[in-house]
Structure 1
Amino acid sequence: MDTVNIGLIRVLTLSDQKEIDRHGLIIEGAFSGLKVRSRCIEDHPKGLYDKISEEEAKPKIISLAKELRKGVEAIIVSCAADPAVKELKEILNIPVIGAGESLAAVSRTLGGSVGVITITNNVPDPVRRGLGERYLTWKKVEGVESTLDLKEGDILAHTLNTAMALRKQGSNVIALACTGFSTAGVAPKISKELGMPVVDPVLAAGSIAYNLMLNKECWREDVED
């Protein structure tokens, strides 16, 4: 199988390229044949954590996606809120994949009652919309206000407690609605502990990219202005 180059945009500003590459390496490790080129936007050291920060980030994501477009065959926006994904799908004639829409799509296939774990005081719109009738409820991880907090303290224990609460409310699938959970690597540990599916948003986006790779003869070239 030929290698397919994927562009990935991080919405957390990072200076260490190894950290910028982390989500791409997660995808490459899970899906043979995908080669991920990662970049991050500027001036967002806390990532995106509300509607204002999402709107501020959109033009930066669009600009970076246009740069990444040269040499890649699909682009992933590694954020569960899918900032600028709708706009990029209209601008570029290559697949543009949002972590939020991917999270919802995978979660829907794994159970009928999805509980969503967030780091904000709401469920990201693409996740809520994508889950449709499979959405059951949501809960925010205690003490977390931005993706940076997912690196502090015993985030596994806090996230596990949140997942247990959602299970008690009837959830039979847990959707992790922040790609910072992917960085922390909590999904497989919580799944093993609870004996139920826990969906990682970065891996969900990677699974969509992998399936696109299998059908790459259907892709179109970018439209010239």
Structure 2
Amino acid sequence: MRVGLIRVMTTSDRRLLHAHGKLLQETFGFTVTSRSIPDQPHGVYDEASLLAAAPKVVELAREMAEEADALIISCASEPGLAEARALVGIPVIGAGSAAAAAALAFGGRVGVLGLRHQVPAPVSQLLGERMVLIDGPESVETPDAFLMPTGIFDALAAAQMLIDAGADVIVQASAGLSSIGMAEVLRRKLGVPVIDASQPPDPCSFRPSQPGSCRRSDPWEASVKAALRLQRRLPRLVGLSRPRFRTPGLQQ
């Protein structure tokens, strides 16, 4: 199956560009072509960046549809999804709503792990009252911030806080988390299902990985491992304290 994957950010780093497609190829055997939109190095992180991304996504969808069997908008906010579906004659999948739907299949409460002050609307609208929110990672205002050591630390801390707040499942609501391979790390560390918004669920999404199973390499995995080692040495550094709850409002 030929999949066109639209990265809703701008990068000249080929490893980063193809990180999500690599997961799809290794898990499902798809032939994946990845392209990124122009002029948005920080991706989608607020209303203005969402509106700016939409026409760029639609244009890429038009260009890629002729040589693909399906398209994936690899962004939990899904800019341009409705317009792309109306334009092309093949399936177009939005990462956010697909991940939220997979999370709902588990039952229980769903913790949303993403940017500090933003929950993508496709995720919040589907999860509704089953959504568990805390203040997001302190250092993460844009998706690319997850590539930094502080972003990794804060994501690990926030995930633990979601579990402490009563989440039974975690959905990753930022493509930046997919780029560092965080889902597999969290499954092993927390022992709960973790859904990656930029990857359709496979058996690894539905149970914690066991040693030697569901193994995937990732160019950023060494950074995550280093953060985990330092966290074990300095357990208070990441501030795993009482969850800070937020009431869902008008969130994008």
Q: Which runs of no fewer than 5 residues in structure 1 stay unpaired?
A: 208-225
Q: Does 1:14 align with 2:2?
A: no
The CA deviation string for residues 153-193 of structure 1, in whole angstroms up to 9 with x for no partner, is 15433212111111111111111100110111111111211
Which residue does 1:26 correspond to in 2? 23
Q: Do 1:98 and 1:205's aligned partners in 2 also have CA atoms closer than 8 Å?
A: no
How far apart in 1 are the matches of 2:19 and 2:120?
Answer: 22
Measured in 1, the distance between the counterparts of 2:31 and 2:25 equals 6
Q: Which has the higher contact order (CA 8 A, sep 6+)?
A: 1
Amino acid of the structure 1 residue aligned with 2:17: I
Contact kept in structure 1, 2:75 and 2:174, CA below 8 Å: yes
Where 1:45 maps in the other structure, the secondary structure is coil
Residues 206 and 51 of structure 1: CA distance in aligned 2, closer, same or farther (over 3 Å): farther
Name the structure 1 match of 2:90: 94
Could you say what secondary structure the match of 2:86 adopts?
Answer: helix
Aligned residues: 203
* Aligned mates of 2:60, 2:187 — CA distance in 1: 34
SS of the aligned residue for 2:11 comes to coil
Q: Equivalent residues in 2 for 1:1-225 (5 A)? A: 4-32=1-29, 34-204=30-200
- Whether contact under 8 Å (1:10, 1:38) holds in the other structure is yes
Aligned to 1:220: none
Name the TM-score, length of structure 2 as normaliser: 0.76
Can you give the 5+ residue segments of structure 2 that lack an aligned partner in the other structure?
A: 204-252
Identity of aligned residues (%): 37
- How far off is 1:120 after superposition? 4.1
The separation in 2 between residues aligned to 1:164 and 1:173, in whole angstroms, is: 12
Q: Using the TM superposition, name which of 112-121 and 94-103 deviates more.
A: 112-121
Task: Compute the TM-score of the two structures, normalised by the length of structure 1.
Answer: 0.85
Contact 1:116/1:139 (<8 A) preserved:
no
Amino acid corresponding to residue 152 of structure 1 in structure 2? M
Cα pair 1:13 1:40 within 8 Å, conserved:
yes
- Distance change (3 Å), C-alpha of 1:157 and 1:69: same
Q: Which amino acid aligns with 1:24?
A: G
Higher strand fraction (1 or 2): 1
Alpha-carbon distance change, 86 to 201 in structure 1, aligned in 2, over 3 angstroms: same
Aligned-residue CA RMSD in angstroms? Answer: 1.7
